[in-house]
């Protein structure tokens, strides 16, 4: 299988921006996992069960 790379130009990016702003393109998030469950996420993805994007949640703690 060859390397497929999409080239973007300003016209395409503006068109995509308009679609997103109009709500005509909506990202699908399949599941969300905390950072400490990355091993489970990798297994889930490897098995091909994902029906959308999988999000890793990284929490930021400002306590010092």
Whether 33 is covered by a domain: the verdict is yes
Cα 41 to Cα 58: distance, rounded to the nearest angstrom: 14
Domain containing residue 32: 27-64
Q: How sure is the predictor about 4, in pLDDT bands with cuts at 50, 70 and 90?
A: low
Model pLDDT for residues 7-47, shown as the tens digit of each residue? 778 999 899 899 999 999 888 899 999 999 999 989 989 99
Does position 3 have pLDDT exceeding 60, yes or no?
no
- Evaluate the CA torsion angle 29, 34, 40, 42 in order and state its sign: positive
Report the chain's C-alpha Rg in angstroms: 17
The count of structural domains within the chain is 1
Whether 16 is covered by a domain: the verdict is no
Whether 46 is covered by a domain: the verdict is yes
Looking at the chain, list the stretches that DSSP marks H as alpha helix, in order from N- to C-terminal side. 10-21, 38-46
Q: How sure is the predictor about 1, in pLDDT bands with cuts at 50, 70 and 90?
A: very low
21, two tokens:
């702003």
Whether 5 is covered by a domain: the verdict is no
């Amino acid at each position: 299988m060859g390397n497929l790379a999409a080239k973007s130009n300003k016209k395409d990016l503006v068109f995509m921006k308009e679609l997103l702003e109009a709500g005509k393109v909506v990202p699908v998030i399949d599941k969300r996992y905390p950072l400490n469950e990355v091993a489970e996420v990798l297994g889930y993805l490897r098995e091909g069960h994902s029906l959308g994007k999988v999000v890793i949640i990284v929490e930021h703690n400002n306590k010092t």
